[in-house]
Amino acid sequence: MDKNGTTRKCRVLYTDSKYGVQIITSSIVGNVNMGSTDFNASRASYNNAITTLNNEANKYLNTTYASSARSVGSVPNNPNYDAAGMFTSEYGYMGGYNGTFKNEDSNYATDYNKMKELNIQGTGQYYWMASRHIISEPNTTYFTIRVVDSNGTLVHYNLCDVLKNGNTVANPPSFGFRPIFTLKPEVKITGGDGKTAGTAYTLGI
């Protein structure tokens, strides 16, 4: 049960000494709007994506059972990690924007690879990962946030584009969201065997 009293089906993602016991919702819990039709606002949304998505996770944190919450795609043992630095392009048309966008990162990799190992990355819906990606080409540079599509494939969606002709584009996409919770050490399995939806683990203290 989450902070708001809604029962959530979850899957165990990690059970080790490095990350503790972390569980992820089996499906999305809602949608999160990112970006804007205003370029400067969309750039701010891109730069603040990790914080925005982790803050969203905390809206579901039930402190009776979990010690913390984070967005899928953040670093499992350091969710607010954001040391990517600022982006500088090799292309001249980006000159006025160099140093104003945060660089891409590989934060997503640990969660995504673990979900693939467990075959739980696909939910039938698109959802955000707390990780940035940049595509810089001779005519356009795209500043994107990583997304998992409905089939479980890692993709990305651009919040901001800077074009060679000096124009800019801003996008306000909305995709699903999956929080991850770190269970408290005192939480125990009180029922179920975790093998099927009908015999899912139940937790208690």
- Name which of 201, 101, 203 is nearest 142 in CA terms: 101
Half-sphere exposure of 17 (CA within 13 A, CB side): 0
The identity of residue 10, as a single letter, is C
3-state secondary structure 74-124: CCCCCCCCCCCCECCCCCHHHHHHCCCCECCCCCCHHHHHHHHHHCCCCCC
Tens-binned pLDDT, residue by residue, of the chain (205 aa): 899 999 899 999 998 889 999 999 999 999 999 999 999 999 999 999 999 999 999 999 999 999 999 999 999 999 999 988 999 999 999 999 999 999 999 999 999 999 999 999 999 999 999 999 999 999 999 999 999 999 999 999 999 999 999 999 999 999 999 999 999 988 876 776 655 666 666 777 7
* Residue at token pair 């009908």: 198
Segments making up each domain of the chain, as ranges:
10-199
| Pair 104, 84: CB distance under 8 Å | yes
Q: Please work out, in degrees rounded to the nearest 5, the angle formed at the alpha carbon of residue 99 by the alpha carbons of 130 and 146.
A: 20
By residue count, the chain amounts to: 205
| Pair 147, 176: CB distance under 8 Å | no
SS3 141: strand
Residue 205 confidence (pLDDT) = 72
Q: What pTM did the predictor assign?
A: 0.93
Could you read off the pLDDT of 87-137 as tens digits, one per residue? Answer: 999 999 999 999 999 999 999 999 999 999 999 999 999 999 999 999 999
Token pair, residue 193, equals 């065997």
